[in-house]
Structure 1
Amino acid sequence: MAEKYDFTIDQLGECKVPSPIELSKQHGDFRANYVKDSSYVRNFVNVFEDNYRDNNLDPSNLLQKAGPREFIYFNPAHVTAGICTCGGLCPGLNDVIRAVVRCLYYRYGVKRIKGFRFGFKGFFPEQGLNTMDLTPDLVDEIHKIGGSFLGTTRGGGNRVNDIVDAIESLSVNMLFIIGGDGTQRGALDVANEVERRGLKVAVVGIPKTVDNDLALIDRSFGFETAVQKAKEAVTAIHMEAHSQINGIGLVKLMGRESGFIATATALASHETNFCLIPEVPFDMDGPNGFLSYLEQRIKRSKHAVIVVAEGAGQEHLQSTNEKDASGNKKLADIGLYLKDKINEYFSKKGIHINLKYVDPSYQVRSAVTTANDSIYCERLGNNAVHAAMAGKTKCVVGLVHDKYVYIPITEVTRKRNTVDPEGAFWRDALDATGQPILMVNNLSSINDRMAAPKK
């Protein structure tokens, strides 16, 4: 049975203002068209034996298409818009900021656009962070650099009343919040408080997570760039490993709970021999453990490349029991752990190795986007503006089945997206690496080990 969702988009009120964007309502006139609220994209597209006759034409399956509407809610002359970026860095932040500003300014004629600096902390008076007045001239070149033009920081989303106080005092009536699942939960709390106070403010999220772990959407912006940069690191480490006697290259990549970057990098590089991700447990020792298979690889091929996601193998490590400002559990360092264990293992065996370890995470996060990611960011930003101008709120814009849609924040943050160990993506990665399907000694203990509290 397919999981049930409710994709109904909250609306501030009836749209009565004619859009200043002069598009078309008909086909065949070579003019770009408006999008209707009644245009949808199916969420469930796979056909299963037990429900292939079910059309699923109800709010649990239909996502509203993104795009400009013929009639909008806000009068552009009365709009004050706000933008903020939250959480860790991710390729594409500046591309999104630029797109939002330019669409507001040029397409709708909105001239008052405020940039809140350093995430949610930019809303708090005691921080002394004045807002920035954003114009196309100011942001036109920012897509050529990495990082966030507005600055970013973790935390602060729990101070909902302070954030809404700032929104109210600055007469902001649409707010674009760029961030991951934690940030979007904060955005939803802000939107709920706005509603409680009777304010007419559209809160629209643009989902950002380099780990690609937001549910429902095809991919988050920055992910493709991250894989490209990670592939470059693997190419370099492979050259090092291949040029040494029993060379081993170890690359640690982002991926707290979801191994998408590591898996995609393994597929893209064609030079990865082992890919370790949080979703697939592995033993270190024993005849079917990772170290045994690594030894076999070294004896056979004289070199090996390992890609590991930061959240992999945490069951082997001592838990820090700490959390960062965003509320994420601080992970023990699997990269350094593997480095030490590999050196120790081969030293005891009397086998000479030459191990090189690289953690390119911050280089990846701060990179300028690839062309395809830049296009994606531009279109996300534009469609977020179309949503807010039409009075849509408590939603994010994303790509589903290659179509731009609006998704309620409640649904996109319900759970995290993870690599399916039994799915085609991971199966293809196994083909690319040639590693064993599972590197465990006792198959029956896997579920118990993964469910047990970390050491």
Structure 2
Amino acid sequence: MEAISPTIKLVVPTRIYGGGYGDQASLFASQVNYNCKKNMKRMKIVMQATEENKKGGSNNISSNVDMSDPDWKHKFEEEFEERFRIPHLTDVFPQAVAYPSTFCLRMRSPVSEKFAHGYPSDEEWHGYINDNDRVLLKVIRYSSPTSAGAECIDPNCTWVEQWVHRAGPRDKIYFKPEDVKAAIVTCGGLCPGLNDVIRQIVITLEIYGVKKIVGIPFGYRGFRDSDLDEMPLSRKVIQNIHLSGGSVLGVSRGSPPVSEIVDSMEERGINMLFVLGGDGTHAGANAIHNECWKRKLKVAVVGVPKTIDNDILLMDKTFGFDTAVEEAQRAINSAYIEAHSAYRGIGIVKLMGRSSGFIAMHASLASGQIDICLIPEVPFNLHGHHGVLSHLKYLLETKGSAVVCVAEGAGQNLVQKTNAKDASGNVVFGDIGVLIQQETKKHFKEIGSVADVKYIDPTYMIRACRANASDGILCAVLGQNAVHGAFAGYSGITVGICNTHYAYFPISEVITHTRQVDPNSRMWHRCLTSTGQPDFY
């Protein structure tokens, strides 16, 4: 069946946006008619992008279950339960002994050494998590695959329960606190909240009764480089570190061989390792976990997802994201003031987001000042009758100014390719922000039109700042639950927030691919409603 392009007779008001007459109104009508005629094309491209995301970038869970099997639903749920089973020390050490938990928030004042192996009131304290507690991964029951943001297992959108393990303290622990030497390492780039997580890990370890806590300086390289000494950590040392940004331990990219890291851990007597980092860092943590168990080492390796881009699978959000969106408002507001105050001003803001446009999307929606939001997940053209530059011309003629927000990974097909890679092995992207700035100036000069273009790149200002209150709470709970997971005997896991509840995930399941914005999601549609931008392809 052929798609029918609608024909619209548009009655245009005599004045648009408080600007001029005539040509502006005609241009506005032409733009609306064009958008309507391209509706079918938009749907085709969006659905195609959505399918690509579901294959490699969404939160959808792939499966090897044969959907033609009448019992496929039951088999899918069994497969899911097995995949998301979190590794436990008893998998390698079946005879591992469990001890009564030393974590109890009753009778804690004053802290007494005679309760180091458990509290008389523990059985009366209902603050422990049962090992069989679960958190529902998906909470929306879609009725159709065509629903906005639908993530369906089968074409009929059959409701399938997907559960993950609830995080929190257990009543039995698998490490004696006096035998524990815990290490914390921060890898990759900076992110608001690193110090908050470090602080809470140390505080919670001390509540369990751990005396030996160290920080590994400058990422994984701190395990290898002889000139980098481990940093002793205690409540006294970390008490106020959350009041500033950055990481008290330092960060770096890259990693020595996993075998060297585990050798170093053995030499130092480290049997709990807390790793703060993104998907690459988590892949390293999973490799360390596997190597430790291969060597039959009783070690717990627990990750805390750290990515300002919010691109970790299965989680509501990662720490630092809210702060990044909030701080981005300053740059966007500055760009708006510059553009709005100038004659035919254009403000361009580049925000972080290599493969995912979550920061740009949320910041654009939060500010209400963005006219064009460009993200990696949605292709666009700069030139042409319906490209970004053409729309900027339209905005200047109707509004008198325009503000563009672009994610760093957007439009990489438009910039010059580079084979350069950073220390983590990531391809160094071309600067899309500078390209848009240059092409905008060039375009308006060529058409003989005035445009005052200002460009703002707040990247390092955003990631180096202190966590806001929302992220501070998230960091505190993540840090606490990381310690609870380690003492419970889990390893090769990471902790995150899922549908407002905290859960443990196998690291292997969150590093399969990068989470991305779904172009068919309600949040992206909300962003488009706010900006009012057309399609640029």
- For 2:249, the aligned partner's letter is L
- For 2:163, the aligned partner's letter is L
Question: Is residue 2:208 matched to residue 1:108?
Answer: yes
By how many angstroms is 1:3 displaced? 2.9
Quote the residue 1:36 is aligned against.
130
* Superposed counterparts of 1:267-306, under 5 Å: 267-306=365-404
Quote the residue 1:9 is aligned against.
86
- Whether contact under 8 Å (2:98, 2:172) holds in the other structure is yes
CA distance in 2, matches of 1:100, 1:146: 17
Question: Is residue 2:344 matched to residue 1:242?
Answer: no
Identity %: 46
CA distance in 2, matches of 1:321, 1:48: 42
CA distance in 2, matches of 1:55, 1:286: 45
SS at 2:298 equivalent: coil
RMSD: 1.6
CA distance in 2, matches of 1:295, 1:377: 44
Structure 1: any 5+ residue segments left out of the alignment? 441-455
- Whether contact under 8 Å (1:15, 1:390) holds in the other structure is no
Q: How many pairs were matched up?
A: 428
Quote the residue 1:129 is aligned against.
228
- Whether contact under 8 Å (1:319, 1:332) holds in the other structure is yes
Aligned partner of 2:295 among 189, 192, 197: 197
Aligned partner of 2:166 among 65, 72, 96: 65
Quote the residue 2:252 is aligned against.
153
Quote the residue 2:414 is aligned against.
316
- Whether contact under 8 Å (2:188, 2:281) holds in the other structure is yes
Cα distance per residue 1:103-141 (max 9 Å; x no partner): 101x20101001000000100044x10000000010011
SS at 1:283 equivalent: coil
SS at 1:398 equivalent: strand
- Whether contact under 8 Å (2:168, 2:484) holds in the other structure is yes
Question: Is residue 2:436 matched to residue 1:338?
Answer: yes
Question: Is residue 2:142 matched to residue 1:48?
Answer: yes
Change (3 A) 1:15 1:384: farther
Quote the residue 1:390 is aligned against.
488
CA distance in 2, matches of 1:3, 1:188: 21
- Whether contact under 8 Å (1:211, 1:223) holds in the other structure is yes
- For 1:94, the aligned partner's letter is N
Structure 2: any 5+ residue segments left out of the alignment? 1-59, 64-79, 91-95, 107-122, 144-154
- Whether contact under 8 Å (1:39, 1:65) holds in the other structure is yes
By how many angstroms is 1:47 displaced? 1.5
Q: Which has the larger radius of gyration?
A: 2
By how many angstroms is 1:62 displaced? 1.6
CA distance in 1, matches of 2:326, 2:198: 22
Quote the residue 1:223 is aligned against.
321
CA distance in 2, matches of 1:176, 1:66: 15
CA distance in 2, matches of 1:287, 1:326: 40
SS at 1:122 equivalent: helix
By how many angstroms is 1:45 displaced? 2.5
Change (3 A) 1:103 1:271: same
- For 2:245, the aligned partner's letter is G
By how many angstroms is 1:318 displaced? 1.1
By how many angstroms is 1:21 displaced? 1.9
Cα distance per residue 1:34-89 (max 9 Å; x no partner): 00110001223222346676453xxxx22110000000010111100000000000
- Whether contact under 8 Å (1:15, 1:391) holds in the other structure is no
Change (3 A) 1:424 1:30: farther
- Whether contact under 8 Å (1:11, 1:392) holds in the other structure is yes
* Superposed counterparts of 1:355-374, under 5 Å: 355-374=453-472
CA distance in 1, matches of 2:97, 2:465: 40
- For 2:252, the aligned partner's letter is T
Aligned partner of 1:83 among 184, 187, 190: 184
SS at 1:10 equivalent: coil
CA distance in 1, matches of 2:324, 2:457: 13
SS at 1:393 equivalent: coil
- Whether contact under 8 Å (1:68, 1:386) holds in the other structure is yes
SS at 1:314 equivalent: coil
TM-score by length of 1: 0.92
Question: Is residue 2:179 matched to residue 1:97?
Answer: no
- For 1:439, the aligned partner's letter is F
CA distance in 2, matches of 1:328, 1:343: 31
SS at 2:361 equivalent: helix
By how many angstroms is 1:30 displaced? 10
Quote the residue 2:104 is aligned against.
22
Cα distance per residue 1:347-380 (max 9 Å; x no partner): 1111111111110000001010110100000000
SS at 2:355 equivalent: coil
SS at 2:413 equivalent: helix
By how many angstroms is 1:32 displaced? 5.0
Quote the residue 2:306 is aligned against.
208
- Whether contact under 8 Å (2:277, 2:306) holds in the other structure is yes
- Whether contact under 8 Å (1:23, 1:32) holds in the other structure is no
By how many angstroms is 1:285 displaced? 1.0
Cα distance per residue 1:354-413 (max 9 Å; x no partner): 111110000001010110100000000000000001110000000011110000001011
- Whether contact under 8 Å (2:175, 2:487) holds in the other structure is yes
Change (3 A) 1:287 1:408: same
